[in-house]
Amino acid sequence: MTKLRIDQVSRTFPARGGHAPTRALEPTNLDVGDNDFVTILGPSGCGKSTLLRIVAGLDRPTSGRVTLDGREVTGPGADRGMVFQSYTLFPWLTVRENIAFGLRERGVSQAERHKVADGLIKQVGLTGFENHWAKQLSGGMQQRTAIARALANDPKILLLDEPFGALDNQTRALMQEMLLGIWERDQKTVLFVTHDIEEAIFLGSRVVVMSARPGRIKADIAIDLPHPRSYKIKTTPEFTALKERLVEEIRTEALKVAAHA
């Protein structure tokens, strides 16, 4: 069953400062199934984050439309949980309060807010840090909190825009395993933007490859690797073959970007 439908969505940014309009996205179609984990991969500037922001309702398409469970997306909503690359926690709130922020805005009782938040704190491995401020947390802990905050509203789809891009390699690998574990347990529909090929394969049930700007979908590759997955799967011949294929897909597009630089 289709959960998310992107139907002929394009985005052109208007001319500014004497420059011509920028075509960020060509008309794009993408269906994301219920409980699917789709990773979007592409060269820098290909429009993958623009597409995610349109799905989140933070930007409007120039043409086309996005529907979630058949309802058109016209702005932000609690049915979509968004996690950004930059750390976006409220510094004046504790970990528990950050996670429960959306619930508080919806008028959920304090007892229920604490129950939901504490369950997610345990799920993302932050037990003992409930009352810490954002500045007291490492980058990985801040992103764990941000993911828990996005999940607290029980969204229909989780949207992540390179959430681990600023983390060191070891922390990034641990965060990938944590997120994949949550998906394997809860089967939440996920749309995940990344520039990291290994990350896209390891997390995704599908990898969507976008072309150089103006972005369009040039490949949609099923990732037929077994679950549950651990980091060891990255050393298998099947993983290596997928990586080689995607490296070539991305290299072709990166060369196009370099040629027009």
pLDDT in tens, 54-66: 999 999 999 999 9
Share of the chain above pLDDT 90, in %: 85
pLDDT band at 33 (very low <50, low <70, confident <90, very high): very high
Report the candidate in 72, 76, 131, 70 with the shortest Cα–Cα distance to residue 105: 76
User: What's the whole-number mean pLDDT along residues 224-250?
Assistant: 95
Q: Is residue 112 scored above 70 in pLDDT?
A: yes
Report the candidate in 133, 159, 207, 138 with the shortest Cα–Cα distance to residue 49: 159
Looking up tokens 């060269």 gives 43
Residue 126 CA to residue 120 CA, distance in Å, equals 9
Q: Is residue 236 scored above 80 in pLDDT?
A: yes
Q: Is residue 18 scored above 80 in pLDDT?
A: no
**Torsion over CA of 23, 27, 32 and 38, rounded to 10 degrees?**
-40
Q: Is there a contact between 247 and 197 (Cβ–Cβ < 8 Å)? A: yes
Looking up tokens 């060891």 gives 232
pTM to 2 decimal places: 0.94
> pLDDT by residue (tens digit) across 152-207?
999 999 999 999 988 999 999 999 999 999 999 988 999 999 999 999 999 999 99
Q: Is residue 261 scored above 70 in pLDDT?
A: no
User: Domains of the chain by range and CATH?
Assistant: 2-13+22-259 (3.40.50.300)
User: What's the whole-number mean pLDDT along residues 246-254?
Assistant: 90
Q: Is residue 8 scored above 90 in pLDDT?
A: yes
